[in-house]
C-alpha cells in the first residue's frame, strides 16, 4: 500500500512523541513492504509564533491532500492565562476538526494488565474495562453561536438531525463489531438538544436489532464509569459531554500517556494521543510515546492493515512487559527509559518480529 501522511507535531512534547510515531510507522512499513511518504506541517502555538495562525491554510492543504494525519499535541502555557489573547493554539485544533469535517472522535478506554495498579481505581474494578467513547466533534457548544460582553455571555448547544444521525450511525456500526451494546449519553431530562438526540436514537435503534441500546444521563454516566467501567461497550455523546467523559475515562487506564484516538468524517482522518502538550516536559525526553504509537496502530487499522496494527500493539504490550517504560509508569526501582529509548526498543521489536 502507498500512504501519504501529514505529520503535525505541534507544541510541547509533540515533536518528541511524533518522531517516535514516525519511526514506528517506518518500521512497520519496511516489514510489510508499504510505501509511506510524509509531509510535515505546522500547527498550534508553533504556527502562531511563525505565521500568526494556529492552523494555516498551507497546513490545511497538506492535511487535505494526505491519506491520514498523524497529529501530536498543541498548547502552550503562555496563552492559557491570558483571556485577551486573540489567537490560541487550541483554535488550530478546532479549525482542523471543522475544516476536515471530523465529526466522529473515537476514544478507546482500555486497561493494560501490568498497569492496573497505576489506576486510581481499585484493580478489580478496572480489570477488563474496554470501551469506546464516540464523541461528536464538530457541533454543539464548541461551534454554536456565541456571545460575550462584560455582563453576559452565552454558547449555543445547536444540533441538527443529520449531525445526530451520522454520529449515532458510527456508534451502532462500531457496536456491531464489538459487544453490540450502545449507551447514548445525554441530559434529556433538562436539555432540548439532548431530547432530540434521544428521540433520534430511539428512532434508529430498531434498525440495529442485534445491538442493545440504552440511555443514560451524563451525570449518571460519569458516576457509572468509575463504579462499573466494564458496563460500557460503545458510549456515544455530544461534543462537550464527550470532552469531559473522555478525560475521566483516560485515568481509568492509569496514565494519560497511553490512550490514542481517531477522528474521522468527510475528509482526511486524524490520529492523535488524547493527552495534551505537557509543556513542562518539553525537550526532557521523558514523555510517554505510547499513546502516539497506538495512534499509529489505529491509523493502520483504519486502512484495514490489521496485521500491521496488531504488530504495533504487540510491540507496545511487550515493551510494558519488559518494563521498558517512561518514568511515570515505571515499576519501583526499575530503570527509567526516555521517550527515544522506548521508541528505539519498539522499532527493534518490530524489526525482529
| Radius of gyration of the chain, Cα coordinates, nearest whole angstrom | 20
Phi-psi region of 33 (alpha: psi -120 to 50; beta: other; left: phi over 0): left
Q: Binding partner of residue 236 among Mn ion, ligand IPM, none, CB under 5 to 8 Å per kind? A: none
Contact between residue 131 and residue 108 where contact means Cβ atoms under 8 Å apart: yes
Min dist. Cβ of residue 53 to ligand IPM (A): 16
Secondary element (H or E) of residue 181: strand 181-186
Alpha helices in 131-217 (DSSP H): 161-176, 192-204
The alpha helices in the chain, defined as continuous H runs, are 14-32, 44-51, 57-64, 77-80, 89-99, 123-126, 161-176, 192-204, 218-227, 239-252, 290-302, 306-321, 339-352
Which residues have a Cβ under 8 Å from the Cβ of 27 and sit 6 or more positions away? 346, 347, 350, 351
Catalytic residue, chosen from 219, 317, 321, 351, is 219
Nearer to ligand IPM, 90 or 130 (CB): 90
Distance CA 298, CA 292 (A): 10
Active site residue 186: no
In the complex, least distance from residue 247 CB atom to Mn ion, rounded to whole angstroms: 5
Contact between 248 and Mn ion by CB under 5 A: the answer reads no
Annotated catalytic residue within 79, 142, 174, 337: 142
**Grid coordinates given for 146:** 456565541
Q: Whole-angstrom Cα distance, residue 271 to residue 259? A: 11
How far is Cα 86 from Cα 186, in angstroms, rounded to an integer? Answer: 32
CB of 274 to Mn ion, least distance (A): 7
Q: Which residues bind ligand IPM (CB under 6 A)?
A: 90, 93, 243
Catalytic residue among 155, 243, 282, 348: 243
Contacts with Mn ion, 208-247, as mask; x by CB under 5 A = -----------------------------------x----
Which residues on neighbouring strands pair with residue 186, listed in sequence order? 217
Set 80, 82, 214, 247: catalytic member: 247
Q: Could you say which of Mn ion, ligand IPM, none residue 93 binds, taking C-beta under 5 to 8 angstroms by partner kind?
A: ligand IPM
- Find the residue with minimal CB distance to Mn ion: 243
Among ligand IPM, Mn ion, none, residue 155 binds (CB under 5-8 Å by kind): none
CB of 112 to ligand IPM, least distance (A): 21
Could you confirm whether 243 is annotated as catalytic?
yes
Among residues 174, 187, 208, 215, the one annotated as catalytic is 187
Please classify residue 137 by burial: count the beta carbons closer than 10 Å to its beta carbon, then call 0-12 exposed, 13-18 middle and 19+ buried.
buried
247 is catalytic: yes
Residue whose CB is less far from ligand IPM, 77 or 128: 77
**112 vs 241, beta carbon nearer ligand IPM:** 241
The interface partner of residue 90, options being ligand IPM, Mn ion, none and the CB cut-off 5 to 8 Å by kind, is ligand IPM
What span, in angstroms and rounded, lies between the C-alpha atoms of 281 and 12?
7
Residue closest to 32 by CA, chosen among 276, 321, 263, 308? 308
Judged by CB, which is closer to ligand IPM: 243, or 348?
Answer: 243
Least distance in Å: CB of 237 to Mn ion? Answer: 13
Active site residue 187: yes
Rounded-to-integer distance, Cα 42 and Cα 213, Å = 41
Q: Is 53 a catalytic residue?
A: no
Rounded Cα gap, residues 28 and 22, in angstroms: 10
Please report how close the Cβ of residue 61 comes to Mn ion at its closest, in angstroms.
Answer: 27
| 328 forms part of the interface with Mn ion (CB under 5 A) | no
Q: Which residues bind Mn ion (CB under 5 A)?
A: 243
Tell me which residues are annotated as active site: 142, 187, 219, 243, 247
Amino acid at each position: 500500500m502507498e500512504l501519504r501522511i501529514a505529520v503535525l507535531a505541534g507544541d510541547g512534547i509533540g515533536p518528541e512523541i511524533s518522531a517516535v510515531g514516525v519511526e514506528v510507522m517506518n518500521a512497520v512499513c519496511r516489514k510489510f513492504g508499504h510505501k509511506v511518504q510524509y509531509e510535515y506541517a505546522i500547527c498550534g502555538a508553533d504556527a502562531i509564533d511563525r505565521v500568526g495562525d494556529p492552523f494555516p491554510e498551507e497546513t490545511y492543504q497538506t492535511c487535505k491532500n494526505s491519506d491520514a494525519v498523524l497529529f501530536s499535541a498543541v498548547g502552550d502555557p503562555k496563552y492559557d492565562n491570558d483571556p485577551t489573547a486573540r489567537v490560541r493554539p487550541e483554535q488550530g485544533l478546532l479549525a482542523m476538526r471543522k475544516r476536515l469535517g471530523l465529526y466522529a472522535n473515537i476514544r478507546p478506554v482500555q486497561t493494560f494488565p501490568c498497569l492496573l495498579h497505576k489506576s486510581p481505581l481499585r484493580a478489580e474494578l478496572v480489570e477488563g474495562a474496554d470501551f469506546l467513547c464516540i464523541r461528536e466533534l464538530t457541533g454543539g457548544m464548541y461551534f454554536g453561536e456565541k456571545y460575550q460582553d462584560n455582563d453576559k455571555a452565552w454558547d449555543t448547544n445547536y444540533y441538527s438531525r443529520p449531525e445526530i444521525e451520522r454520529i449515532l450511525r458510527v456508534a451502532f456500526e462500531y457496536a456491531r463489531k464489538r459487544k453490540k451494546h450502545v449507551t447514548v449519553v445525554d441530559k434529556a431530562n433538562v436539555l432540548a438538544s439532548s431530547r432530540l438526540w434521544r428521540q433520534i436514537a430511539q428512532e434508529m435503534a430498531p434498525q440495529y436489532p442485534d445491538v442493545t441500546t440504552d440511555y443514560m444521563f451524563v451525570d449518571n454516566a460519569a458516576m457509572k464509569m468509575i463504579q462499573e467501567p466494564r458496563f460500557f461497550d460503545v458510549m456515544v455523546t455530544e461534543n462537550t459531554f464527550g470532552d469531559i467523559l473522555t478525560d475521566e475515562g483516560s485515568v481509568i487506564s492509569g496514565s494519560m500517556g497511553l490512550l490514542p484516538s481517531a477522528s474521522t468524517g468527510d475528509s482526511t482522518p486524524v490520529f492523535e494521543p488524547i493527552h495534551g502538550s505537557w509543556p513542562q516536559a518539553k525537550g526532557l525526553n521523558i514523555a510517554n510515546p505510547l499513546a502516539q504509537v497506538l495512534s499509529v496502530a489505529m491509523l493502520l487499522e483504519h486502512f484495514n492493515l490489521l496485521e500491521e496494527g496488531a504488530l504495533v500493539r504487540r510491540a507496545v504490550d511487550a515493551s510494558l512487559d519488559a518494563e521498558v517504560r517512561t518514568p511515570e509508569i515505571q515499576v519501583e526501582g526499575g530503570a527509567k527509559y526516555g521517550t527515544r529509548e522506548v521508541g528505539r526498543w519498539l522499532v527493534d521489536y518490530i524489526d525482529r518480529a
